[in-house]
Amino acid sequence: ILRSGGDSGVNLASFSSHHVFSGTPSIGLLFCFAAFIGFEATTIYGEEAKNPQRTIPIATYCSVLLIGGFYALSVWSMVVGVGADKIVPLLQSLQDPTTFIYGMSDHFVGPHLTQVIRVLFMVSIYAGLLAFHNAAARYFYAIGRDGLLHSLLGTTHRVHQSPHMGSALQSLIAAVVVLIFAAMDADPILQLFAWLSNLATLCVILLMALTSVAVCVYFQRHPELNVGLWRGRILPVFSSLALVSVLVLAVVHFDVLTGASKLLSYGLCAIIPVALIIGVYLAARLRKLSPQRFHALGSHKL
């Protein structure tokens, strides 16, 4: 696209304030958060890394920079290809917006590349699902090890040392969800993927906001750590406020993100407080049955 000059030459029109703040910029911000889901997954592999204190931060920063750079260049190129003033009407005219990239490929390169892109799209979906599966398996393992769920989830395979029981539970949950959507004859991309991936976005934003608040509280309780005003106070407070603001915007405009009705969209959002209530109940039960294990929650060190 950049070599051919696109629709009206290579330019930076898409970065002008007119285009950046036109329409509903909050939706673009929310979609941006959705695109970055998974960068925090580096931390869950900390116990499997040789030197997690060094390699995990490096991997996290590199993933953010690579993802951000790749998406920025790709999206800018596509806007140049169609034209900053034409891309929104074009996307609105498509019944399935995911076919946009195929049309661009046909126009600028040819059908042979389009077929390659279709295959890569399928492979990338599988790779993403596999990454989420591994993350869920390790979360189940950590929760089982802490005693919030059955202790069997907190065990590893005797040969491979993998969280195999967490993997089995995640496989069962995924199979049930897919079968339900298949029985409803729902679209796998526009409904199953769009609804649940955006719900996951809300969850990740909430977790990041809670983590930022926890950082503020932790350093306030431990002034002897002397981490400095910026790291211990200003930046955590700023991130907390920013993430809560984004979370509120995401909930208010969740129907736009999912493409579903408001009733269904808010029904999906209601799953999150239900999950929070269940989590509080499990923690309260553990505190009652085993106060020592409750106070040891999250104390495993890398």
Q: How confident is the model over 7-16, as a mean pLDDT? A: 88
Query: What pLDDT sits at residue 123?
Result: 93
Residue 188 reports pLDDT greater than 60: yes
Report how far residue 298's alpha carbon sits from residue 293's, in angstroms, rounded to the nearest whole number: 10
Under DSSP, the state recorded for 86 is T
Helix (H, G, I), strand (E, B) or coil at 266: helix
Q: Where are the domains of the chain?
A: 1-95, 110-184, 186-269
pTM: 0.76
Q: Of 78 and 20, which is predicted with more confidence? A: 78
**For residues 94 and 258, what is the distance between their CA atoms, to the nearest angstrom?**
16
Residue with tokens 């609804």: 195
CA distance 80 to 72: 12
- Which residue reads 């190129």 in tokens? 77
With 70 as the cut, is the pLDDT of residue 88 above it?
yes
Is 302's pLDDT higher than 60?
Answer: no
As a whole number, the mean pLDDT across the chain is 87
Give residue 300's pLDDT: 67
- For tokens 């990239």, the residue is 101
111-134 residue pLDDT tens: 999 999 999 988 988 888 888 899
Q: Has residue 212 got a pLDDT over 70?
A: yes
Six-digit token pair at 70? 């790749």
Asked if residue 301 has pLDDT above 80, the reply is no
pLDDT value for 204: 85
